[in-house]
Structure formats: C-alpha cells, structure tokens
Amino acid sequence: MEIMENDMPTIGQITTSPVITPDQLFDHWQGHRRLSRKMIEIFPEDEFYHFSIAGMRTYAQLTMEMIDLAAPGIRGIATGNWKPYGDSGQNQHTSAPATKQQVLDLWDSVTEQMNLFWPLITPHRFQENDVAFGLYEAPIYGTILYFIDNEIHHRGQGYVYLRALGIEPPAFWDRN
C-alpha cells in the first residue's frame, strides 16, 4: 500500500487526545508490580538473599532497588518533592529486610503508597520536566516509564536466576 502525500494529516488535524490515559498507564505499571510480587513469592528464601550469577546482585538486592525507586518516586512525581531514595537518605539502595515475608509486606506498603499518590498527579504534570531524586532530569512520563523499564529489567534477571535454580517462573505475560 502506497501512502500519498495528501493522505498524511496536517498539524491541525492531529488530535491532542492521549494515546494512553493516566489510569491506563497506572494499571499497566501495577500489572508489572503484581508480576514482580509473584517473582518474590516464588523465590526460595535462601536463594532470594544469596543466589547470584556472574557477579550480579541477588534478587533481594534487585527487589530493594525496585522498592526504593517506586515509593519515593511516586511521591516525587505527585508532589514535586524529591527526597533521596534508600534508608540512608543518600540515593543508596536499602538493605533487604531479614525475611522474604517482610520484603513482601514492604512491597505491599509501597503499592498502597502508589495507590494514594497516583490520583494526585495532575494531567499537565506528565509533561513537566523534573529532576528525579535530584539526579535525573526528564519529563514525568519519561521518569514513570523508566521506573517500569527498570522493574522489567530486574525481573528479567530474576527469571534467569529462577531458571538456573530449576524453578519455573511465573508467565511473563500474566499480570493479574
């Protein structure tokens, strides 16, 4: 099929309707978080804290990075107040709690925070530039996409770990 020049829309013909709504984006993010939670659940306790391949961080450490970015990240996105992440308050990742159940409880607490802060994000905020954690300048929508991409990347490492341990990981497409 050939596209003719007069078939192309002009600037005035392009609508300003969003391709994806804020609620759809949030549902997408939460779907990834549900799958990441399943990954934490399926990991054997000892391997969660100690298993590594080729010097990569443990899944507990990777999970804490996801937690450290999401909780203060959603607050910063909603309010413009970007506090450093991590328990040190210096943009260094938090050490994992002693048990996997404590990690899951922390994960659920972050999910609750996300549910509280997301509705506070005004539509124009998604297009604003901001400096996340005082370090990363980008439009807010780009920062959100980074948080999602980062989680997917680390969850992928978890898939490799589980397969190396002989454990079938959850289906990557099942985000319920």
- 142-162 pLDDT, tens digit each: 999 999 999 999 999 999 999
* Boundaries of every domain in the chain: 21-164
Q: CATH homologous superfamily of domain 21-164?
A: dinb family like domain (1.20.120.450)
How high is the pLDDT of residue 14?
Answer: 52
How high is the pLDDT of residue 47?
Answer: 98
Give the CA distances from residue 37 to residues 9, 34, 40, 135, 163, in Å, rounded to whole numbers and listed in that order: 43, 5, 5, 27, 17
The predicted model scores a pTM of 0.87
How high is the pLDDT of residue 132?
Answer: 95
Q: How far apart are CA 92 and CA 89, in angstroms?
A: 7
How high is the pLDDT of residue 3?
Answer: 59
Q: Which two tokens stand for residue 12?
A: 């005035």
Which pLDDT band holds residue 84 (cuts at 50, 70, 90)?
confident
